[in-house]
Each structure stands twice: as structure tokens, then as C-alpha cells.
């Protein structure tokens, strides 16, 4: 990560328009130059009135403004600080363990190790993992897993703290969705680690404003289970005196992903890296869900659906704009990577008008993309806001990575099994297998193990697996039953991957959390 630029975003307090463009969004010929020149400039400072000829990318695109008018600079600075502090926790692990490997046969090793790990990782390993090093050598797999889980737990504490500080954003977002006609927003992204920062970074939505969040491989969610989520929310509304015909509906969003630079290899593994198949599969699930509600409760009009595609190279999105009947086509969408370029030199007002025009032009498409007119005003506002918020993320990726992530493929740090750590929102931090039982989640788990075979196992490192579920403290016995479930899932994983377990390649942490977002993390066990 280019921490120098992250720091300089943080240092910035001025968002005055600059003269030239920072990055060649969707400019394939300019991209390699963009990456190398961007990271090599020592004096690039977006806050100062720096001569833009320091950045040769700007010279490649001289006609554009360097700072997109709709970028939320303060938010970008905060997110850069957050990303930097989380990633450094994980990225320091391997170099620190290499230092310990060199020290392990020295006199007074334990105190030397404590000194190194306090400084580099911010914690000390349990003495039993260190004191016998002179006899058998260090158990590096155990140390690695311990360090990963420690980084994970401290990251959760940081994200939870951040959630508490952003209560005003949640209230704003709740009001916005209600204003657009939605009492609840339900998002299902693919469980791919590159979408782990979806809400906080890519869509810029407060996590707490999303009512239901569940990831599945290929975004192929369980329709029956999602219908139960809907029933629970509507029952709650009914019990609290909110009638079903109050004009507010339920918005279900599916997010698939693709790779603009390497579509046939770095797209969605669950759909054979095929963009069209990924989008069609997401749309099919959305349609099934809407039909299920309609057929069961005769109130399909209460459900709106939305399909979004993320280019995981640069976090730009395609929003598939519904027509007047709420129907979606995989061929009809607005792409923010194109909008970014088209609005870069505009004023704030001009850029916002352009976003709304783009939605209307999209709605009026003919041929394969043709639909039945324009969506209702609430949906139009939701789409316009999603487009605008994502422009800040495009600018963020431009500032920190020259417009394209260096890790366009997988770089996850651990496998998350169960309900997942909703609070953690950061790209490529975890591969998530959402499951109730290993039998039904076997396909998702197998993909995770395959990914970690390349990332860790082939390099001699174990796969750290964090089993995590949320209980409801309002329900008697819920916590106890959940702990039993965690242990059942762990034993089933050990049973499914016997060979890996026998070779000491699987390490587990079991943790639980009460339902409300930001509840404290309870570690139940941590062992191989
Ligand atoms: Zn995927």
C-alpha cells in the first residue's frame, strides 16, 4: 500500500480543484504509467497547491481536472487512515516471525521475542509458544495463526469503535432511504474477499443502515432463508404499529463482481469468471425472491430489487437501473468508471445533473437493454446517490493505488465461517463462507480452502479459520446453543479436511457476539 499518499490524503484539508487528472480511469494505455509514476512522486500533496506537472499521469490526460468535484475528501482521508492501520497489523506478521526465527536459539530468547513483538505487533505471544524454542524450534504455524487472530480481534475493536462514532451518518442514511420509500435495505454480495469493504468503501453506506447483510459465494443467496428475514422485519413493523401499506417498501440488492482488466481469470470464481453469468445468476435470485414474497403474501409491490456489479480492479460499479415495473436487464446499466471520466472537469451541480441524465438515458435504452420506462422517483434517487458515492471510492483508489489495486486477485488474510464479522469492512481482508452447517456450506468452504492453498498452504503457512456466530441475548439459551453449534461446525470442518488437519494446516478461533452491531467480541476458544 502507498502509505505516503494515504498520509497525504489525511493531511489534506483543502479540496480546491486541481488542473490535471490523477489517473487514467479505464484508460488501459495510460494505466501502467499511472501506477509507476504515481508511487514514485515524493512530493505529491493534494492539500497544497502543488504543481501538477509533478505527476506525469496528469500530463497524459491534460484536459481533465485532477480532483473529481463530487469527491468526499474528508471521508476519503478517514477511510485511508482506517485501511492503513488495519492492513499494517496483518502485513507486519510475516516479517516479525522471520525476525523471531533468526533469534530463536539465542540466550534470553523469550525476552528478546517479547521486545520484538511488542514493538512490531503490539502484543506478546503466550510464553508456552516461545520457551521450548531452543529444543524443538518455534512452531511457526501456531505463531502465525495466533498473530492473525490477534490482528483480527483488534481490528474488530477498531471498526466497532468507528461504528459508535458514526451514529449521525446512520440516522442520515435511514432518513434518506425512508424518503426514497424504503423502510429496510437488504444486501447480498458475493463472499469474495474483494467485496469485503462493500458498504463502507465501495457504496459508502453506513453499515448500520443496512437491515440485512449476508454474503454467499456467487451472491447465490438462500431464497427461503431470505423470505424468513423479510417476514421477521415485517412482523416487527406490524407489532410496532407500522402498517404494511404505509408506502414504504423493502429494497433487496444483489452485488456481483468482475475484473475489467482480466475478466476471464479474476472475476467471480463461483461463476467461472464469466461476467454475464454472474450478473444473470444474481438477477435470477432477485427475481425468485420477489416472486416468493408475491406468491406467498400477494404483496410483491412491497419489494424492489436492484442489481449492482463491482469491478474489483478499481471498485467502480455498474448499477442495473430497474424500469417502471421494477424489472432489471443485465444489459441495462450505468457504469461509474465512464461517468467519472465524463464528469471530472465539471462543477458539482453539472456533475449531479449528469448523473440523473445518465440514469434517464439508460432507462430509455433500446434493443437488448430496452425496458418499460423509467423507475419511480425513489429508486431514481437511490441509484443517483449510489453513483455519486462511488465516485469518491474511484477517486480513493486513484489516490492510493494509481487507479487500480495492486492485488487484483485474492489476498485474503483468514477464512471467516458462520455469520461473519459484520463490523469489519475492508477489501481482501477475509474469505467469507456463510453457513449454518458444513454440509450445506461445503461448496463455499471448498472455494475458501482452494484460495488459501494458493495464498498460504503452498508457502508452508496454515489456513486461519475464524468461526463466528451471533446470538440473541433476548432469547433464553441462545448463547449456550450457539457455542455448541460453533463446536459442531469446527468438528465438521476438521472431518471434511482431514489431511490438512493432520498436517497441522488448520487453526481455529471460535468467537460469538450478541446481535446488535458493535457488540463486544467473546472469544470462546483458539486452538489447532
Ligand atoms: Zn464471487
Query: How many Å separate Cα 512 from the centre of its chain?
Result: 21
Q: Which residues of the chain have pLDDT under 50?
A: 1-4, 7, 10-65
Residue carrying C-alpha cell 461504528: 163
| Spatial CA neighbour of 304 closest among 316, 295, 294, 313 | 294
Q: How far apart are CA 133 and CA 364, in angstroms?
A: 70
Q: For residue 325, how many other CB atoms are within 10 A of its CB?
A: 10
The Å distance, Cα 268 to ligand 1 centre, comes to 4
The Å distance, Cα 309 to ligand 1 centre, comes to 11
Residue carrying C-alpha cell 467469507: 432
Report, in angstroms and rounded to the nearest whole number, the Rg of the chain calculated over CA atoms.
24
Q: How far apart are CA 307 and CA 5, in angstroms?
A: 33
> What pLDDT is attached to residue 247?
61
Which residues lie closer than 8 Å to 331 by C-beta, 6 or more apart? 365, 367, 368, 369
> What pLDDT is attached to residue 56?
32
The set of catalytic residues is: 192
pTM: 0.82
Residue carrying C-alpha cell 441509484: 383
Query: Which residues face 511 on adjacent strands?
Result: 468, 523
Question: How far from 29 is each of 32, 38, 52, 57, 334, CA to CA, in Å?
Answer: 7, 15, 20, 11, 23
> What pLDDT is attached to residue 52?
30
> What pLDDT is attached to residue 186?
95
Length of the chain: 528
Question: How far from 250 is each of 214, 215, 219, 222, 386, CA to CA, in Å?
Answer: 16, 18, 18, 17, 17
> What pLDDT is attached to residue 292?
92
The Å distance, Cα 115 to ligand 1 centre, comes to 41
> What pLDDT is attached to residue 382?
96
* CA atoms within a 13 Å half-sphere pointing along the CA-CB vector of 470: 17
Residue carrying C-alpha cell 468535484: 69
Question: How far from 49 is each of 15, 52, 61, 107, 503, CA to CA, in Å?
Answer: 10, 8, 19, 55, 57
> What pLDDT is attached to residue 243?
63
Are 318 and 326 in contact by the 8 Å Cβ rule? The answer is no
The Å distance, Cα 360 to ligand 1 centre, comes to 29
* Residue-wise burial string across 102-131, b where 16 or more C-beta atoms lie within 10 A, e elsewhere: ebbeeeebeebbeebbeebbeebbeeebbe
The Å distance, Cα 301 to ligand 1 centre, comes to 29
> What pLDDT is attached to residue 34?
30
Query: How many Å separate Cα 19 from the centre of its chain?
Result: 32
The Å distance, Cα 189 to ligand 1 centre, comes to 8
Q: For residue 526, how many other CB atoms are within 10 A of its CB?
A: 17
**pLDDT tens, residue by residue, 42-57:** 222 333 333 232 333 3
> What pLDDT is attached to residue 153?
94
Are 431 and 415 in contact by the 8 Å Cβ rule? The answer is yes
Q: How far apart are CA 338 and CA 326, in angstroms?
A: 24
> What pLDDT is attached to residue 487?
95
Are 512 and 522 in contact by the 8 Å Cβ rule? The answer is yes
Q: Which three cell numbers stand for residue 517?
A: 452491531
Amino acid at each position: 500500500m502507498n502509505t505516503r499518499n494515504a498520509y497525504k490524503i489525511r493531511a489534506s484539508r483543502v479540496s480546491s480543484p486541481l488542473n490535471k487528472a490523477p489517473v487514467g480511469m479505464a484508460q488501459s494505455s495510460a494505466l501502467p504509467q499511472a501506477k509507476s509514476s504515481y508511487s514514485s512522486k515524493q512530493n505529491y500533496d493534494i492539500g497544497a497547491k502543488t504543481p501538477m506537472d509533478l505527476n506525469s499521469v496528469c500530463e497524459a490526460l491534460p484536459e481533465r481536472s485532477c480532483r473529481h468535484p463530487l469527491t468526499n475528501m474528508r471521508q476519503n482521508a478517514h477511510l485511508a487512515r482506517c485501511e492503513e492501520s488495519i492492513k499494517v497489523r496483518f502485513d507486519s506478521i510475516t516479517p516479525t516471525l522471520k525476525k523471531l526465527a533468526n533469534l530463536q536459539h539465542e540466550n534470553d530468547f523469550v525476552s528478546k521475542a517479547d521486545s520484538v513483538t511488542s514493538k512490531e505487533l503490539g502484543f506478546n505471544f503466550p510464553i508456552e509458544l516461545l520457551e521450548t524454542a531452543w529444543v524443538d524450534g518455534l512452531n511457526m504455524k501456531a505463531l502465525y495463526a495466533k498473530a492473525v487472530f490477534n490482528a483480527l480481534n483488534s481490528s474488530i475493536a477498531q471498526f466497532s469503535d468507528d461504528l459508535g462514532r458514526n451514529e449521525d451518518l446512520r440516522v442520515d442514511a435511514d432518513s434518506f432511504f425512508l424518503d426514497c420509500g424504503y423502510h429496510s435495505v437488504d444486501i447480498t454480495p458475493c463472499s469474495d474477499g474483494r467485496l469485503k469493504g462493500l458498504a463502507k468503501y465501495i457504496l459508502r453506506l453506513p453499515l448500520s443502515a443496512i437491515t440485512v447483510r449476508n454474503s454467499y459465494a456467487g451472491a447465490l443467496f438462500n431464497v427461503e432463508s431470505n423470505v424468513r428475514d423479510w417476514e421477521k422485519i415485517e412482523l416487527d413493523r406490524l407489532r410496532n404499529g407500522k402498517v404494511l401499506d404505509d408506502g414504504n417498501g423493502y429494497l433487496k440488492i444483489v452485488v456481483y463482481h468482475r475484473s475489467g482488466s482480466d475478466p476471464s481469470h479474476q472475476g467471480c470464481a463461483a461463476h467461472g469468471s464469466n461476467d454475464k453469468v454472474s450478473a444473470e445468476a444474481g438477477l435470477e435470485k432477485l427475481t425468485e425472491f420477489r416472486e416468493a414474497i408475491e406468491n406467498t403474501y400477494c404483496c410483491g409491490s412491497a419489494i424492489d430489487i436492484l442489481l449492482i456489479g463491482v469491478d474489483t480492479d478499481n471498485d467502480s460499479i455498474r448499477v442495473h437501473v430497474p424500469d417502471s415495473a421494477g424489472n432489471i436487464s443485465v444489459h441495462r446499466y450505468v457504469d461509474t468508471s465512464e461517468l467519472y471520466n465524463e464528469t471530472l472537469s465539471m462543477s458539482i451541480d453539472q456533475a449531479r445533473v449528469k448523473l440523473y441524465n445518465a440514469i434517464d438515458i439508460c432507462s430509455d435504452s433500446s434493443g437488448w437493454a430496452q425496458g418499460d420506462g423509467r423507475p419511480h422517483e425513489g429508486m431514481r434517487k437511490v441509484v443517483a446517490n449510489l453513483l455519486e458515492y462511488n465516485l469518491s471510492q474511484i477517486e480513493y483508489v486513484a489516490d492510493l493505488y494509481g487507479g487500480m489495486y495492486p492485488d487484483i486477485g485474492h489476498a485474503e488474510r483468514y477464512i471467516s465461517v458462520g455469520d461473519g464479522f459484520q463490523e469489519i469492512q475492508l477489501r481482501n481482508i477475509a474469505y467469507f463462507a456463510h453457513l449454518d452447517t458444513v454440509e450445506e456450506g461445503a461448496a463455499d468452504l471448498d472455494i475458501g480452502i482452494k484460495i488459501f492453498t494458493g495464498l498460504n498452504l503452498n508457502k508452508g503457512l496454515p489456513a486461519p479459520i475464524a468461526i463466528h456466530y451471533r446470538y440473541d441475548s433476548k432469547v433464553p439459551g441462545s448463547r449456550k446453543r450457539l457455542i455448541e453449534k460453533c463446536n459442531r461446525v469446527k468438528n465438521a470442518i476438521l472431518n471434511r479436511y482431514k489431511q490438512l488437519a493432520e498436517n497441522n494446516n488448520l487453526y481455529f478461533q471460535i468467537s460469538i457476539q450478541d446481535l446488535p452491531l458493535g457488540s463486544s467480541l467473546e472469544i470462546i476458544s483458539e486452538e489447532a
